Amino acid sequence: MISAHQLRFRYPRSDFELDLPELEINKNERVAVVGPSGCGKTTLLNLLSGIALPDSGQVTVNGIEISSLSDAARRNFRIANIGMVFQQFELVEYLDLKANILLPFYINQSLKLCRETEQRAESLAQEMGLGNKLKRRPSQLSQGEQQRCAICRALITQPTIILADEPTGNLDPKNKQLILELVHQQVEKHQMTLIVVTHDMSLLDQMDRTIDFETMRVEAPAGDSS
Amino acid sequence: MSKAFQLAWQYVCHHKVKSAVLIFSIVLTILLPVTIKILLWQFNQKVLARADETPAVVGPVGSDLDLALNATYFRHNPQAKPIPFSEVETIQASELAKAIPIHSRFTAQQFKVVGTSLDYFRYRQLQVSIGGQFATLGDCVLGAQVAKSLNLTVGDQLLSDREDVIGFGGVTPLKMNVAGILGESRSPDDWAVFVDLKTAWVIEGLGHGHEDLSNESEDSVKILKQTDKEIIASAGVVSFLEITDANIGSFHFHGDTSEFPVTAIIVDSPDVKSETILQGRFQAGSAEAQFTRPGKVMRELMQMVFRINQFFDANAMMIALSTAMLLALVVMLSLKLRSREMETMFRIGCSRGTIALLQIGELMIIFAFAALITAGLVWLVWINSASVVESLLVG
C-alpha cells in the first residue's frame, strides 16, 4: 500500500509548490493521475519513488517510510519495489535490447546478474513480442517496440509497483492499445500496483480509480515542472 | 565494478569512431615526443661511441664538424679542398702516431667508396667474414650491409658511380673486384665499400691503365707526339675500366703521389702525449690541415641538439596540455549529451557514484587502449631506432 500524508514539496528556485494533504493507493490498485501540465503529476511519481524527498510530510510504501531511508537504502528500495516507465522510453542507445532490459542489474550492485535473470529477460521479451529482437539496438526498433522494451526493463526486477509517466504519450493509437493491454496483463499476472500519469482520458476506463490532480493542488504552478 | 565496466566497454565499442579518435589523439600526443627522445638518445649513443673510437683526426682546414663526420661517417664535404697525401707521410715520419688515410669522395651503387689502408681494419677491429682483404689495385672489401643490399659476394664485380650523370666530371667508373666481405659491425663501416687508397685515386682519374703504346710506330694514328721522355697519345687509345691480372701492369699514376688527395687522416697515437704533441704541431704549423678531436666536436654538437630539443620538449608539453584540454572538453560535451541517459539510470536505481564509475571506466578503457598502442609503437620505434639512426647517419 502507498500512502502520502501532509506532503509538501518545492523545487529550489521555483515558485511551484506541491501540497498533498492525503493520498492512499491500495495494493494491486490501478490508479490514473490526471491534470494539466505543470500541476505536479511527475513530481508526485518522484516523491512516491523516493527520487525526490518531501520538504515535509510522509510517504509510506509497503509500510516503509521512504524519507527515513538513507540514499543507498532508498535506491535499493526503489530498484527492488518500483518499476518505472517513461514517455520517451529512455533506452540506452549503445546497448542491445536484452542489455537494456537487464540495465537495472548492470547499474546496481545489490542486484545479482545471473543466468536465471537473463532467462527472465528473454522470457519477458518473448511475452512482449520482442523475442526475436534481443540483439537489436533501440534505433533499430519501432517506437512501440522501444516502449515494450522499456516496460520489460521496469518489470525485470519483479517490482510490486509500476509508476508510468505518460507511457503512451509518444505512441500511435494501435501501439497505444497494444502497450496498455500488455501492461495490464503483466500487472494482473504479477499482482502489481499501477500508477499512471496521463493526459489521455481514453486510458481512464481501464483504471480502478482516477485522481484529478488539479483539485488537490493548493497553489497554481508558475511553470511546467512536470 | 565489473558490471559497470561491461557497460563502459559497450559504450566504447558502440562509439568506435569517437573512441578511435580519442585513442589516437592520446597516442600521437605521447608517441611523438617519446619517439624524438628515443631517436635522440640513440643518435647520441651512436655518434659519441663512434667519435670516441676515433680520438683524433686530421683533415682540411674548415669546419671541425665536417671533418669529424668525414672521418667517422665518410660524409664528404664537397666544399672542402682535400689535404695532400704528404700530410700522411709527415705524421708517419714524426713517429708520434700511425696515420690512416681516408678518401671518401666517390660512391658505388650509392654506397660510399672509402679509400684507405689495411691499418683501418685493424684500427676499427673489423673482421673479414668471407674472402680476404683487398690485395691488389681494383680490389674492394664490402661492408656487410652493402653486400646484403647489392646481393654481392666474393668474386663478383662492383662498378663505381660516375661523379655526375653525364660523366663529364673527369671520373670514369671503375669495375672493382669483390675480394672480401666484412662481418657486421653495426657501424658506418657496414655501409661502405673499402678499397686501397690507390684504387680510390684511380677512380678519381689520377691513375689509369691503357694499351701499350711502346710498340706503336710513330706514324700510328694513336700517337700525336713522341719524344725520348714521353709519348702524347690521342683519344683513340683504349683506357681500361677494369683492373685485371692482364692489364694491372699498365696502371700507373701521373704526378707526385704525395700531392694526391685524402679527405681525412685518422691519427692512431700510442699515447695521449704523442697525440697532444702532434696536435700542437698542426696548430702551430699547418695552413692546409687541421687537427681535431671528433669526441669533443660531437659532444658540442649534441649539446646544441639537446638545447634545441628543449624547445621541442616545451612544444610537446603545450601540445599535451591542449590535447588534455580538448579531451576534457570532449568528455564534458559527451556528459552533457548523455545527461538524459545518466538521469534515467539514476531514476531506475543507479547511484551517482556508479554513474561516475561508468564515466571513469570509459575513460580508463580509452586510456588503456592508448597506452597499449603507444607501448607497442614505442617498442617498434625502440627496436628500429638503432638502424634508423644508422641509416640517417650514413645516408
State whether A90 and B6 contact (CB < 8 Å): no
State whether B3 and A107 contact (CB < 8 Å): yes
State whether B349 and A92 contact (CB < 8 Å): no
Cell of A114: 545471473
Give yes or no for a contact between B346 and A52, defined as CB atoms under 8 angstroms apart.
no
State whether A93 and B354 contact (CB < 8 Å): no
Distance in angstroms (rounded) separating the CA atoms of residues B158 and B178: 7
State whether A105 and B6 contact (CB < 8 Å): no
Instruction: Please work out, in degrees rounded to the nearest 5, the angle formed at the alpha carbon of residue A8 by the alpha carbons of A4 and A9.
Output: 115
Nearest CA in chain A to B340: A90
Closest partner residue to B349 (CB to CB) among A75, A86, A93 is A75
State whether A107 and B14 contact (CB < 8 Å): no
Nearest CA in chain B to A89: B344
How much of chain B, in percent, has pLDDT values that exceed 70? 89
B7's enclosing H/E stretch is helix B2-14
Per CB-CB distance under 8 Å, the chain A contacts of B351 are 71-72, 75, 108
Does position A217 have pLDDT exceeding 50, yes or no? no
Give yes or no for a contact between A195 and A43, defined as CB atoms under 8 angstroms apart.
no
pLDDT band at B111 (very low <50, low <70, confident <90, very high): very high
Note the pTM of the prediction, 2 decimals. Answer: 0.74
- A32-41, A107-116, B332-341: range with highest mean pLDDT: B332-341
pLDDT band at B19 (very low <50, low <70, confident <90, very high): very high
pLDDT, position B211 = 65
Distance in angstroms (rounded) separating the CA atoms of residues A206 and A194: 11
The contacts found for B165-172 with CB under 8 angstroms, 24 or more apart, are: B170/B205, B171/B106, B171/B203, B171/B204, B171/B205, B172/B205, B172/B239, B172/B241
3-state secondary structure of B267: strand
State whether B15 and A95 contact (CB < 8 Å): no
Distance in angstroms (rounded) separating the CA atoms of residues B308 and B313: 9
Residue with grid cell 490508479, as numbered in its chain: A31
pLDDT band at A220 (very low <50, low <70, confident <90, very high): very low
3-state secondary structure of B242: strand
Which of A178-192, B210-224, B260-274 is the least confident region?
Answer: B210-224
Residue with grid cell 661502405, as numbered in its chain: B192
State whether B349 and A93 contact (CB < 8 Å): no
Distance in angstroms (rounded) separating the CA atoms of residues A55 and A39: 17
| Angle at which helices A143-155 and A115-127 cross, to 10° | 140
pLDDT, position A221 = 30
Per CB-CB distance under 8 Å, the chain B contacts of A49 are 347
- Average per-residue pLDDT for chain B: 87
Rounded to an integer, the average pLDDT of B307-315 is 91
Per CB-CB distance under 8 Å, the chain A contacts of B338 are none
> What is residue B161's DSSP assignment?
P
Per CB-CB distance under 8 Å, the chain A contacts of B356 are none
ipTM: 0.82
Rounded to an integer, the average pLDDT of B336-350 is 89
Alpha-carbon gap: A161 to the closest alpha carbon of chain B (Å):
13
A interface with B, Cβ–Cβ < 8 A, is 49, 51, 71-72, 75-76, 78-79, 84, 86, 88, 90, 92-95, 99, 103-109, 113, 137, 153-154
| Angle at which helices B352-394 and B294-337 cross, to 10° | 150
Question: Both ends of chain A: CA-CA distance in Å?
Answer: 24
Does position B24 have pLDDT exceeding 50, yes or no? yes
Residue with grid cell 561491461, as numbered in its chain: B6
State whether A99 and B344 contact (CB < 8 Å): no
Nearest CA in chain B to A162: B348
Distance in angstroms (rounded) separating the CA atoms of residues B282 and B87: 10
Per residue in B41-61, pLDDT tens? 999 998 999 999 998 999 998
Length of chain A: 226
Mutate one of A78, A102, A106 to test the B interface: name it (highest B CB count within 10 A): A106
Per residue in A44-82, pLDDT tens? 899 999 888 999 999 999 889 988 899 888 888 888 899
Alpha-carbon gap: B373 to the closest alpha carbon of chain A (Å):
24
Alpha-carbon gap: B352 to the closest alpha carbon of chain A (Å):
10
State whether A92 and B6 contact (CB < 8 Å): no
Helix, strand counts (H, E) of chain B: 11, 16
- Average per-residue pLDDT for chain A: 86
Nearest CA in chain A to B12: A94
Cell of B393: 647517419
Nearest CA in chain B to A96: B10
* Higher-pLDDT residue of B287, B356: B356
pLDDT, position B255 = 81
B interface with A, Cβ–Cβ < 8 A, is 3-4, 6-7, 10-11, 13-15, 340-341, 344-351, 354-355, 358
Distance in angstroms (rounded) separating the CA atoms of residues B182 and B200: 19
Instruction: Please work out, in degrees rounded to the nearest 5, the angle formed at the alpha carbon of residue A137 by the alpha carbons of A133 and A143.
Output: 80
Distance in angstroms (rounded) separating the CA atoms of residues A197 and A213: 10
State whether B348 and A105 contact (CB < 8 Å): no
Per CB-CB distance under 8 Å, the chain B contacts of A87 are none
Closest partner residue to A92 (CB to CB) among B3, B13, B341 is B341
Nearest CA in chain A to B6: A106
Distance in angstroms (rounded) separating the CA atoms of residues A169 and B240: 100
